[in-house]
Amino acid sequence: MPAPPAPQPPIFNFNAYSPAEIEDAIETVGVAKAAMPAPPSFMPAMVAAGGIGLGALYDPIVASDADLGFAVTRLLGGLVFALGLVIVLVGGAELFTGNNLIVMALASGRISAPPASPFAPSRHERRPHRARRADHGGRKDSAPFAALVFKGVLCNLLVCLTVWLAAAGHSVTDKIAGLVLPISAFVAAAFEHSVANMYF
């Protein structure tokens, strides 16, 4: 008599990984990322940049609809921008802002020194971003530097939270559900994402 078929996992799994399991998974990934030589990480970084660029392309298209109210424009723009993080997290790309969670592996002692970032010497965060966004209505290079840095820190807090929540999911659907709200929050709040700003 043949064995009964194995039960299929549900589309949504409400039994998320525990915080301790998420922490262990993120630290394990952090150890691997810290040991990765620069050349093999180049192509996944380009995929991440392209993914964020696609999300950043999607956002102003929605925001350009003059019939939408301010809050609706910000909310919808943030929701469609989440496409970029779906591409990054589901596709296994290497995004600088999310990779800052490597600090967890450092804090736990699983790596002994801060990883060297190829982005640090470029000082890309100090370059003015000369672009207009339909939903911002102004130039990023006219904002005070301190405000841009603080908005960047808040953005990165939400990106790292996105990675954490996505890691709680068992399936791709769970991961997408976990990442949409924190990403839409940083876009709606007009925080500064360094990689998206390079696109703009």
- In the prediction, which pLDDT does 62 show? 86
The string of pLDDT tens digits covering residues 155-179 is 999 999 999 999 999 889 989 999 9
Residue 16 has pLDDT above 50, yes or no: yes
Domains of the chain: 19-113+132-199 (1.20.1080.10)
Cα within 13 Å of Cα(158), Cβ side: 23
**Alpha carbon 19 to chain centroid distance?**
19
- In the prediction, which pLDDT does 134 show? 43
- In the prediction, which pLDDT does 12 show? 59
Residue 127 has pLDDT above 90, yes or no: no
Residue 24 has pLDDT above 90, yes or no: yes
Q: Per the structure block, which two tokens stand in for 177?
A: 């559900």
pTM of the complete model: 0.73
| Closest listed residue to residue 133, CA positions, set 76, 200, 51, 50 | 200
Give percent of the chain with pLDDT exceeding 90: 26
The string of pLDDT tens digits covering residues 32-90 is 888 888 888 889 989 999 999 998 888 888 888 888 898 899 899 999 999 999 999 88
